[in-house]
Structures are given as structure tokens and as C-alpha cells.
Amino acid sequence: MALSCAVVACVLGVARAASAQPTPARAPLKDIPLAGARPVTLTLAGQARWREEFFRAFNTLPLDDDHAQSRVLLSGDFVVGRRARGYARAFGEWRDAQSYGRTLPGGARPQDADRSDWQNAYLEVGRQAAFVRVGRQEIALNRERLIGVPDWSNTRRGSQGARAQLVRGAFSVELVDARPMVVRQAAPNRADSTQRFRTMSVGSAPGARPLARGLPALWQAYHYAQRIVPTTGAATSRTTSGGRLQWTWAPVSAGALRRVPGGVTPSVEVEGAVQRGHTGDDAARRALQAAFWVVETQWQWKRAHGAPSLALGVEEATGDNARTTARLEQFAVLYPAAHAHGGFADVIGRPNVREWHAIATWMPHRALDLRGAAYRFDRRRLDDGVYTKANAIFRATPTAPGAMQPRHVADEIDLTGTWRYGAHLRVIAGGALVVPGAFLTATATTSRTERWGFVGTTLAF
């Protein structure tokens, strides 16, 4: 932890020196004109971050570790035209991600370290909110429950392909045809030739109002098709069809907001999807039949100090049925944004779990954001185990005759904070406790309470 404190002190010194200078009327590296009066601009940006983590009882096992990670991003954005009238764009972002001293299983994994490669490199044409983008890019859809870009991961997730968003009035259509990138630590990264995903989404345009009184302001229907053909083993074809709705009861004016006690604005979000398809060869073919759903309600007190908010939700995803070999009923998150859902400790995944959560946020100072969350994880099916956030089995269900089959898996508490110093520096700190439930205790010789913490800094320009 001493190293992270030294880094924080160093960066704070740089930030204080920079803040002592007069603030320019315009950021010097943003929208640099390249053709006089013509709308041709170049924007340069960058980010340097450091994070140090400690684990005690990693994954509730007797594994301890302290390690650090660094990441540098440098980007250039060349734009011809204006967004309101039509534009063409070339965007490139270079990344260097490093890991120091990780001794946990797997060592420095591909999500932890990747020296000197491209994070983004694409061409784009568009007008207003509509665009077509081709090349290496980051693809995050909806709330990132099924397809996301985990920023906590040091290398982030990239994809290679095409993405189009078409907007007409209150309606939006989005199409994706891409392959995930494979991080190769000793060679240039490449698109994964064994996987391909295609998506189609139809819904409300960004910022659109409800079509009628009582209807949700945000609505979306989607269909995601994933095809995996490994170099060895059987192929998997999976389609995920679902939708998302969100109602927000917000006052239409500032005056109306002042008349609401506390200025509270409630909202309700519902999302669900079913999976179909098949896996395996002709001799051992299994039909896919799975589903997930989530309901979350949130309140925000906008007139209260710090605009606190509270979200309460429940989420379920199906697990496998041990009584049949003809079907696979385990729900698979396609390309998950670990850390974004299901607890910051990233221990318990979504398949075969019923998750209850309460998440509170508060900004007691204009430069400080606080977040606290509590989770309870239970098994849905007692004949299936629990999984990781990457859909791999974490703890299998006991098979010995007379073995206990507890339902309660674990509880988790997260506390995190972000402090912003000016426009360029952020300091983060926080941690989590994961308390094993009866199931984890029954399926491991030694099961301990996991304690995880972190501190880090990010300097961006």
C-alpha cells in the first residue's frame, strides 16, 4: 500500500502544480482546427491510471495476494464535418496495460496485462445520433448485462467488426456484426476466429419521451445471435431474445420538482431474455433452453444534500437440470461486464442464482461520490452448483448420497468512493466483504470470509 500512497502523492503534486496555472478558455488538445475555416479537427486525449489491490481469502479460499496494475491510453480523433450536418471520423487508441506481482491462480491474465497494442482503431460516418462504424471498437449494449466493456479489467474488451445505429424521431435501430478480440500477451491481438456475434435492437431513441401516458420512456427489444466454433470440441449456436423497459416518474419542470417532497424521482426497470439454440455434435447434441430476468426500482432525492439514491432489485437466471441430458438450461452471459453487476468482488456469477441487492449512492461534496451495496446470493436449483461471472462452474453441487444441499450461497457488502481533483485527476478507494453461505461452506474444506480492497489514481487529459 505504500507504493500506491506514493503514487497518489506524486499525482496530487502534479495536479496542484497544474491547477496553479490559469485555466485556458479552451482545452488546447481538443478540436484542434486543421483546415482553417473548414470543419476539420483533431482531438488528442490520454489516460494514465494505477491501481493496487489486496485479497485475503480470494474466492473464499485460503489464498492471499497483493498486486498492482497500470494502464496508459493515448488516442487521436480526426473528424471531418459537423455532427449536426454529417461527418466522417477516424479514431485510434493505443493501450499499454501491465500487472505487477499477481500470484493468484493464473498469474497475470490476459485481462490484467497486455503490452503495447491497439484498443480502438475504426472509421465512422454519421449524422447527429446516427452512425456506421467499422473496425476495432468497444461494444457495450443496454445496461451491459449481456454484452459489455468491463473498464475494471485492465485491458478492457474489444471487438472487430461493424456497428450501425439509425435514429428516426423517437425510434432507434442498432445492428452489430463483430468478433471479440483475443488478447495475446506475447503477440499482436487479433479477432477471435472461433466466435462471432450479431445483434439487432429496436427501441426508443436516446432522450425520447414516452409515446403515451403510462408507457415507459425507455423501451427496447433485442435479439443477439452468438456462434462459437472452437478449434477442438463441439460448436454452440445461441440466440438471446429479450427486452428492457424503464418507467421514470420525473416532474416536467423545476417548479414541479420543488413541490415534490424531497424532490424524489422514482423509476422502475424490467429486463428479461430467453436463450435458445444447441450445443454439441450429432452424437451428444443438447438443446439450449434458458432465461433470466431482473426487476429494479430506484429513488433519487434530488433536492436533498448530495442527491442520494437507493435502488432495490432482484435478479434470477436459470441453472442446469441434472435430471435431463437432452437440454442445457444454464443461462450464459454472452460477454459480461464483470464488476458492473453482481457485486464488485466478482465472486458469484449469474447462472443458477437468485440475487437480491440494495445499492445506495451519495455525493456529500461536489468532488466526492460514495457508493454502498449489499447482495444476497441463493441457488435457484439445488441440483446445480454456482458459476463464475465468466459462466464457468465455481462450486459444483455435492453428489454424495445424503450430502447437504443448502440454498444460500453468499452475502456481499461493497463500499467505494471516488474523489475528483479538478477536471483531470480521480482517486478511487474501496473494498468488499464476501461472507460464505451454507452452500460454499458445505462444498469446500476451508471456506473463509473474503476481504478485498483497492486504491488507485487516474490522470486524464
Rounded Cα distance between 163 and 122, Å, is 11
Dig out the grid coordinates for 303 from the structure.
433536492
3-state secondary structure (DSSP) of residue 8: helix
Number of domains in the chain: 1
User: pLDDT of 224-264, one tens digit each?
Assistant: 999 999 988 889 999 999 999 999 987 655 555 555 666 78
Confidence of residue 390 (pLDDT cuts 50, 70, 90): very high
Determine the pLDDT at residue 1.
Answer: 43
Rounded Cα distance between 115 and 97, Å, is 6
Q: Is the pLDDT of residue 10 over 60?
A: no
Comparison of pLDDT for 282 and 198, the residue scoring more: 198
CATH number of the domain that residue 260 is part of: 2.40.160.100
Determine the pLDDT at residue 20.
Answer: 37
Residues contacting residue 380 through CB under 8 Å, at least 6 positions apart = 316, 317, 318, 319, 352, 353, 354
Dig out the grid coordinates for 444 from the structure.
469446500
DSSP state, residue 428: E
Determine the pLDDT at residue 3.
Answer: 41
Q: Is the pLDDT of residue 30 over 90?
A: no
Q: 3-state secondary structure string, 196-229?
A: EEEEEEEEECCCCCCCCCCCCCEEEEEEEEEEEC
Q: Is the pLDDT of residue 278 over 80?
A: yes
Q: For a pLDDT cut of 90, what percent of the chain falls above it?
A: 76
Q: Is the pLDDT of residue 265 over 80?
A: yes
Rounded Cα distance between 443 and 440, Å, is 5
| Rounded average pLDDT over 272-283 | 90
Confidence of residue 398 (pLDDT cuts 50, 70, 90): confident
| Rounded average pLDDT over 217-223 | 96
Q: Is the pLDDT of residue 19 over 90?
A: no
User: pLDDT of 132-188, one tens digit each?
Assistant: 999 999 999 999 999 999 999 999 999 999 999 999 999 999 999 999 999 999 899
Rounded Cα distance between 401 and 227, Å, is 38
The domain containing residue 390 runs over which residues? 2-460
Which residue bears the cell 467505494?
Answer: 416
Cβ count near 84 (within 10 Å): 8
DSSP state, residue 335: B
Determine the pLDDT at residue 2.
Answer: 41
Q: What is the average pLDDT score of the chain? A: 90
With beta carbons less than 8 A apart as the criterion, state whether 24 and 424 touch: no
Q: Is the pLDDT of residue 41 over 60?
A: yes
Confidence of residue 18 (pLDDT cuts 50, 70, 90): very low
Rounded Cα distance between 273 and 242, Å, is 4
Confidence of residue 208 (pLDDT cuts 50, 70, 90): confident
| Rounded average pLDDT over 383-408 | 89
